[in-house]
Amino acid sequence: MLGLALVLLLLFTFSRIMWYNYMIPTVDQKDDILLVEPKLLFGLPVDSFHVEENNVRTNESLSDILKDRGVSGQIIDKIAHLPASVFDLRKMKVGNDYAVFYSRDSLRIPMYFVYAENPVNYFQYRLSLDSCRVIPGKNEVKSERKLATGIINTSLWNAMKENNLDPMLAIQLSDLFAWTIDFFAIQKGDSFTVLYDQNYVKGEKIGIGTIHAAIFNASGQDYYAIHFEQEDGQSYFDEQGRSIRKEFLKAPLKFSRISSRFSAARMHPVLRIVRPHYGVDYAAPTGTPVFSIGDGVVQAKAYQPTGGGNFLKIRHNSVYTTTYMHLSKFGEGIQAGTRVKQGQLIGYVGATGLASGPHLDFRVFMNGSPVDPLKLKSPPANPVSQSNMASFQQNRDKFLREIKNARLAGTKKR
């Protein structure tokens, strides 16, 4: 009898354990547990505050904003003395967004002020006399892979608009192919196909991310740009693994037209006499940025009243120098002896000196003799190394397969 009672007790205990395990969810049964993520705005839980969203108005300072919302003068003074190295309050821009976070009780005490420098970066100010501080933050950026193609009818910029693409993609592509394509000479019928990341913050487009690969057809020739990273950093290469970055940019400014070319005999527009013009004139509005076409050292920064007006001369190496003339003003920090980088802002288009209108007179000298800037050829930078070639080719084939399929589909539609 004792044995039977023991067996019955064990069966009862086992059945209770099984029932308990069946009826009570364990931590592994995640489907039965509902986790609610808090809604965040600038890193703060919205449900914990009353939130006011607004934007900076003309002639409005942070002091004005906070005073109007009942923040004490002591706190405003403490904020004004926070380190400008984190954020300089004088750089707040009209139209930029901000938010004020108030306590949820009836007193509605301002507790945080957040200024959005741009869609990604923001600065969170704690409005407390005891713990006043500023903390930089970043909104989450999400990227979506896009593939775009288009044909140029008038300009690259207009081609983007005609195909409902972000016009900034035109800037990115012109920068990408700056060493291989003369964008002042692109023609109707030229085309592009590009695989890139479109960046979003809170579902809103904020700009172009990485361009993974692109093919630009100019005058019937395909030019390739394939993104790849190796030991010396990220860069772009053609289909054979050669760098598309050359020693010099094709042009020292963006989106203008050529008003006068290199010539041994040209009628001067001001003097009305025929004389050589050993440069290229790029017509552009006053204030258009001018960039150095390559790394180098500024040899001369001067003013020539009866000729080039404000001009710069840059020595790039033992062979090449370049000159930039008729500038309205020079770039910040540009002086004789200044070392400049390729693509660095060095000045702005103007009409100083003998000029009939705003333009850049750009000249190139090889071993001291003038050469046609439009015919300048530059050697490429480092190619893909042999040790990385297999990996590069795998990336290349994947990207170009997507791009060429898109081009084929676009051709069939036409």
Q: What is the dihedral of CA 385, 198, 143, 139, to 10 degrees?
A: 120
- pLDDT digit string, tens, across residues 150-203: 999 988 989 999 999 988 899 889 888 887 887 877 889 999 999 999 999 988
- Do residues 260 and 268 lie in contact, with contact meaning Cβ atoms separated by under 8 Å? no
CATH of 40-138, one of 2.160.10.10, 3.60.15.10, 1.10.3720.10, 3.10.450.350: 3.10.450.350
Residues of the chain with CATH 2.70.70.10: 257-375
Listing DSSP states for 256-273 in one string gives -EEEE--EEEEE-TTT--
Q: Cα(93)–Cα(80) distance, rounded to whole angstroms?
A: 17
Q: Please report the pLDDT score of residue 410 as a whole number.
A: 55
Residues of the chain with pLDDT under 50: 17, 19-27, 29-30, 265-268, 270-271, 273-274, 414
Residue 407 confidence (pLDDT):
66
Query: What pLDDT score does 332 carry?
Result: 93
Residues of the chain with CATH 3.10.450.350: 40-138, 141-246+380-414
pLDDT tens-digit readout, 310-364: 999 999 877 889 999 999 999 999 999 999 999 999 999 999 988 878 989 999 9
Are the beta carbons of 374 and 182 closer than 8 angstroms? yes
Q: What's the CATH code, domain 257-375?
A: 2.70.70.10
Helix, strand, coil fractions of the chain, as percent rounded to 5: 20, 35, 40
Contact 384, 241 (CB under 8 A): yes
Give, in words, the CATH class of 141-246+380-414.
alpha beta
Residue 186 burial by Cβ neighbours in a 10 Å radius (0-12, 13-18, 19+): buried
Helix H, strand E, coil C: the string for 140-182 is CCEEEEEEEEEECCCCHHHHHHHCCCCCHHHHHHHHHCCCCCC
Per the CB < 8 A criterion, the answer to whether 173 and 214 are in contact is yes
What token pair was written down for 12? 């009862």
